[in-house]
Amino acid sequence: MKKNNNYKWVKHIIKEVSELEDGKTEVTQYVVIGRQDLRFDLFLVSSFTDFILNLPHNKTTTQVAYANVVVPFLNYVYEHPDFEIDKITVQDGIDFLNSLNVTPYTKYLYSCRLETFYIYLQEKGKRQNARLN
């Protein structure tokens, strides 16, 4: 994907309200990742949402914690005009982590979450053997 200032990676928390048979309502929340078209205010859900929705211990707070790392990382790497997600390197992750102005502990947490995302990308590439976007 070429650099395009008209898009930004974002996360949204989706709330679904279901009416149960007994008349009560149930609210389900989950996080989606996508690209926001800044010209038309259009949100396009990305396949990266699959990563968020399939995390272990998958509560909304966990989804948000991971999305709060993945979304800035995607914005960081896609700033480079020749970046392609299927050619991601460890150095890309290191550069991103070094660009953050956070405590060492927060950087450690981010690196763990980013490592999980890298593993997801690798496994998805092996399963689909196709370009991710």
In a domain, 74, yes or no: yes
Beta pairing partners, 16:
28
The values of phi and psi at residue 117, to 5°, are -65, -40
In a domain, 1, yes or no: no
Residue 99 is classified by DSSP as H
In a domain, 88, yes or no: yes
In a domain, 66, yes or no: yes
Highest-scoring range by mean pLDDT, 1-5, 24-28, 122-126: 24-28
Q: What is the mean pLDDT of residues 71-98?
A: 88
Nearest in space to 3 (alpha carbons), one of 75, 74, 81 = 81
pLDDT tens, position by position, 1-19: 445 578 899 999 999 998 8
In a domain, 133, yes or no: no
> What range defines the domain where residue 93 resides?
7-128
Q: What is the number of structural domains in the chain?
A: 1
In a domain, 48, yes or no: yes
For residue 103, the model assigns a pLDDT of 94
pLDDT tens, position by position, 95-112: 999 999 999 999 999 999
